Amino acid sequence: MSGWSPPSLPRELLAAFGAAYLLVIAYALLVQGAILLGVLPGVLLIGAYLLWRIMAAVEAIADGVQRIAEQMERE
């Protein structure tokens, strides 16, 4: 098994996203009075991140299958 892993987000970027999201939640609760207005961006960001990780996993699987096929052709 190879040690390859898709690149992960830097901690500084995660901290910045977290701080910005807390500001969005605070704005949604204190100014707008609607929690769903604050939850929706978080759900969209988490969904986009999970989609990116799934795409990276599918790419790694396809690469592994391609290497197996090439090895079987050589034999």
Q: How far apart are CA 72 and CA 66, in angstroms?
A: 10
Q: Which domain holds residue 46?
A: 11-74
Residue 60 lies in a domain: yes
pLDDT computed for residue 5 by the predictor: 65
Rounded to the nearest angstrom, the gap between the alpha carbon of residue 14 and the centroid of all alpha carbons in its chain is 11
Residue with tokens 């960001």: 45
Residue 17 lies in a domain: yes
- For residue range 6-38, list pLDDT tens digits in order: 667 788 988 998 999 999 999 999 988 888 888
How many structural domains does the chain have?
1
State residue 4 phi and psi, 5-degree precision: -70, 140
What's the predicted TM-score (pTM) here?
0.67
Residue 6 lies in a domain: no
